[in-house]
Structure 1
Amino acid sequence: MWKYIVYTLLVLVVVLAVYYFYPSHKLAPGTVIDKLVVNKSKRVMQAYNGNTLVKTYKIALGKNPVGHKQFEGDGKTPEGTYTINERNPNSGYHKNLGISYPNAEDIAYARRLGKLPGGLIKIHGLRNGRGYIGKFHRWKNWTAGCIAVTDEEIDELYKTVIPNAVIQIEP
């Protein structure tokens, strides 16, 4: 019985180590990303150069990911078409790319509810000092409404996503 338990634990450790350390493919030098498409239900973000898919990233979302962001504090990641409108190398998370949420429709909708629309929606890495979590962060939706990737992935996106790139966030 003990041998079976030890063997099972050993296999589990090996599988987790392979998952954690197995490298993802890197983008070719000089790659330009001008469009991002997020599929919230599949927890993926696809990066495009023109009509060519160059990479798919696994992501974590807001704690309450189903549905469009309606107001500040709802834990939802917005849905719709926005742009990458800023970049910050010194945020509380390992770099970030700003998303142009809220737009005029988002603001009007939140006002009809008597609430603030929220903002500061980003694509970001892990909280500073927590990069060691790596790919395990994907096991749970944990952001306040942002799109999270690993630190290595945000480094790659930070270099390759052009200003005002389109980001389409789908249910």
Structure 2
Amino acid sequence: MKHTKWILALLAIIFIGISSFKKPDFITSKYYIVISKTNNTLTLYDKDDWIYEYPCTFGSDDLGDKMMEGDRKTPEGIYKIIYKKPHAKWNKMLMLDYPNETDKAKFSKRKTEGKIPAKARIGGGIAIHGTWKNDDRAVDELQNWTEGCVSMFNADLNELYNIIEPGTQVIIKR
């Protein structure tokens, strides 16, 4: 009887471990992206597994969640790519739907709690983009240089840009 409980517990742990790598239920497009600020990675997944993992950099060296406009922090949450376009300065842009309703609720709560100034603004314009033309040094050296966006090598961004479409889900986590 004792062994049966341990075996069932072990099977439950294995099942939870395996199921945690499955595509989240809210993902509706063919692909989705998970960005890890701690690991400086952007990983592209399909319905079965990861496809590519790319290095990336962010805004502030403080890897906390974006609090307000101007803090240079990269937001954390679940987003989607709303459009993509070439960009003269940063190669290409994959624009995210920041701020979404969840971000607005967090922002309001932080204001109410006095964690940010009453006159603070939430900001916007968060994207996944490249670096200056012919200058991937910022990503090579993992320099957090953006105003809160995610920056990638231009060659990696070009590859990603050709694969994904607007509507692709993006999860940004610490």
Tell me if TM exceeds 0.5: yes
Does the 8 A contact of 1:83 with 1:166 survive in 2? yes
Indicate the residue corresponding to 1:165 in structure 2: 168
Give unpaired runs (5+ residues) of structure 2.
1-28
Relative to the length of structure 2, the TM-score reads: 0.72
| Equivalent residues of 1:70, 1:106 under 8 A apart | no
Question: What secondary structure sits across from 1:123 in the alignment?
Answer: strand
CA contact (8 A) 2:37 2:58 kept: yes
Unaligned segments of structure 1, at least 5 residues:
1-31
User: After superposition, what is the alpha-carbon deviation per residue over 1:52-100, rounded to whole angstroms, capped at 9, x for unaligned?
Assistant: 2100000011124411111101110010111011112135311110111
Question: Who is 2:100 aligned against?
Answer: 103
For the residue of structure 2 that corresponds to 1:163, the secondary structure is coil
Q: How many residues align?
A: 137
Aligned: 1:132 with 2:137: no
User: 1:36-115, aligned counterparts within 5 Å?
Assistant: 36-111=33-108, 112=111, 113=116, 114=118, 115=120
Aligned partners of 1:155 and 1:164: how far apart in 2? 18
User: Following the alignment from structure 2 to structure 1, what is the Cα–Cα distance between the partners of residues 80 and 130?
Assistant: 18
Cα deviation for residue 108 of structure 1 reads 3.5
Within the alignment, does 1:154 sit opposite 2:151 as a pair?
Answer: no
Root mean square deviation, CA, Å: 1.8
Output the CA distance in 2 between the equivalents of 1:59 and 1:87. Answer: 18
Q: If the length of structure 1 is used for normalisation, what is the TM-score?
A: 0.73
